[in-house]
Amino acid sequence: WVRAAQAELVSDHIRLLIQEKASSLDMAFYDSPKYFDTLHRARYDAQSRPIALVESLGGLMQGALTLISMAVILAGYAWWLPLVLLISTIPALFVLFRFILRRHKWRMSRTTQTRRALYYEYLQTSRETLPEVRLYGLASHFRGLFSDLRLRLREEILQLARSEALSRILAGLSGLILAAGALFLMLLDVLKGVLSFGQLAMYGQAFIQGQKLTRGSLENVGQIYSNLIFLGNLFEFLELEPKVLPAEDPILRCGAPESEIRFRDISFRYPASSGFALENFNLEIPAGRTTAIIGPNGAGKSTLFKLLLRLYDPDSGTVEIDGIDLRRLDLDTFRNSVAVLFQMPLQFSATLAENISYGKLAEADRMDLLEKAIEAADAGEIISRLPEGEQTMLGPWFGGTELSVGQWQRLALSRAFFRDASLILLDEPTSAMDSWSEAAWIESFRRRQEGRTVVIITHRLHTARRADLIHVMEKKGIVESGTHEELLERNGRYARAWEAHGFSG
Ligand code: ADP
């Protein structure tokens, strides 16, 4: 029971440590496969290593005590006999440590491949991958890749195990030779009449027992060493430090600007990318108005939100709110006052009410806020069709009802509105709406959010036209800014886009 309790407690505790650390690291880590390698190793080793460490420590202490008594007995014959016993184990010790290090090196160098095999498994066993994998008949292809990869990994690890076994046999043999030598000397003493047969039996037994015990203790030392270096993987993960650092003397203020939000000379490169996502970028977003940012895919529009939310910090330049560098603000206070709809919002396998109230957990039981949020996103119709209304379980994980992409998006929108935010950032809020719903929703949204600072990223011209200010963004930065009418008059990029859609004027 003690062992089971210990195993459960330690494993849960370490899993919590990993979760806590993972939650504290900024998005840059999640862009790199190195992070996932470190996480994979930490997770894998967190399960068994700490317990194994405690057990081998116990085993070692037990073995060492018995070994001391054997050494005392052997010293009765000759002072050097315990020494011979010790020396006879050196080859085994050498082999042990050498192979622990080799196994560790192998694990470190093969983490990415091990994860790749897991990925092939995931592609064949997950709900989200099923439609395309079935349609294109990819399952057996991925199974083949999995088998090939596992075969290669298996061969390598078995090769290692083979040479370890061989080295161990040789090391054992050298121990046997030393034991035979010691027994031979004792036998000579018997022949000389210095030692009785009874004594020979006793010392011989003690020597062989001693060797067994030393081997056992060695195994334990090996286990301890191995567990310690593999536990190093866990510590390697726990020692990762976030790069987005909190302000030293933070200013407590919400996200709403009084005059403007400004991106000033921003250059930013994603850690995993060689090119700049934004270079010498400048943009001003006025307070209390609705600004639309429109432009082609890959121009860097979503990146603006990630910088504004400090999911990343820019390489150079500053994001400012009323002239204050974002990095000087208290991050939690700032983030808590911003409502965001991300381009690919999360679908929680939870009740519909929970899906919305996760927008502000502290007020999760406020039904009035829930109703308001549902109304603001025009999500009422979804609820009227659900068997248990707001308490209906959603998502595939725990047997919930499934919604359409557009319905999930409305819920995410409700979640954003659940907090009474003073700054609202919406990334493609109307992408899953048809054009009739889009027009109606955007009108009611404008009425509701009157006076707040709203930024909408969109590729929909009809959504953009209703904004107070439209910025046209391309890879090289903002190329045009103005109201819908001003931009049409300018006859530039924006006007051409309207013409192409047959909506000139
Ligand atoms: P938009 O929202 O305008 O379509 P994004 O801001 O998403 O564009 O992306 C801007 C550029 O940054 C693109 O070239 C994209 O490939 C790159 N990018 C986006 N996210 C990442 C990332 N996590 N790692 C590396 N490059 C990225």
Span from the CA of 497 to the centroid of ligand 1 (angstroms) = 22
Three-state secondary-structure class, residue 1: coil
Pairing of strands 453-458, 423-427: parallel
Specify the pLDDT at position 502.
Answer: 56
Q: What is d(CA 445, CA 468) in angstroms, rounded to the nearest whole number?
A: 13
**Mean pLDDT of the residues in the chain:** 90
Three-state secondary-structure class, residue 107: helix
Whole-structure pTM value: 0.84
> Mean of the pLDDT values across residues 34-43?
92
Q: Which atom of ligand 1 is nearest to the CA of 343?
A: 2
Most informative mutation of 34, 35, 266, 270 for ligand 1 (most atoms within 8 A of CB): 270
Span from the CA of 101 to the centroid of ligand 1 (angstroms) = 41
Most informative mutation of 35, 36, 294, 303 for ligand 1 (most atoms within 8 A of CB): 303
Specify the pLDDT at position 319.
Answer: 97
Specify the pLDDT at position 246.
Answer: 87
- Judge whether 439 and 464 are in contact, CB under 8 Å: no
Q: What is d(CA 348, CA 394) in angstroms, rounded to the nearest whole number?
A: 7
pLDDT in tens, 251-264: 888 878 899 999 99
* Residues sharing a CB contact under 8 Å with residue 467, sequence separation 6 or more, in sequence order: 290, 291, 292, 456, 484
Span from the CA of 277 to the centroid of ligand 1 (angstroms) = 6
User: What's the pLDDT band for 504 if we cut at 50, 70, 90?
Assistant: very low
Compare 227 and 265 and report the one with higher pLDDT.
265
- State the helix-helix crossing angle for 197-238 and 2-24, rounded to 10 degrees: 30
Q: Which atom of ligand 1 is nearest to the CA of 295?
A: 3
Instruction: Show the DSSP H helices in 256-351 as ranges.
Output: 301-308, 331-336
> Mean of the pLDDT values across residues 13-30?
93
User: What's the pLDDT band for 102 if we cut at 50, 70, 90?
Assistant: very high
Q: What is d(CA 326, CA 314) in angstroms, rounded to the nearest whole number?
A: 11
DSSP string covering 119-131 = HHHHHHH-TTTHH
Is the predicted pLDDT of residue 347 greater than 90, yes or no?
Answer: yes
Ligand 1: lining residues by beta carbon, under 6 Å: 31, 270, 272-273, 277, 297-303
Specify the pLDDT at position 22.
Answer: 95
pLDDT in tens, 429-452: 888 777 777 888 888 888 888 889
Most informative mutation of 29, 30, 302, 344 for ligand 1 (most atoms within 8 A of CB): 302
Instruction: Look up residue 402 and give its DSSP letter.
Output: P
> Mean of the pLDDT values across residues 452-457?
94
What one-letter code names the amino acid at 203? Y
Q: Quick one: tokens of 387?
A: 């068997």
Q: What is d(CA 423, CA 108) in angstroms, rounded to the nearest whole number?
A: 45
Specify the pLDDT at position 25.
Answer: 94
* Residues sharing a CB contact under 8 Å with residue 122, sequence separation 6 or more, in sequence order: 129
Is the predicted pLDDT of residue 169 greater than 90, yes or no?
Answer: yes
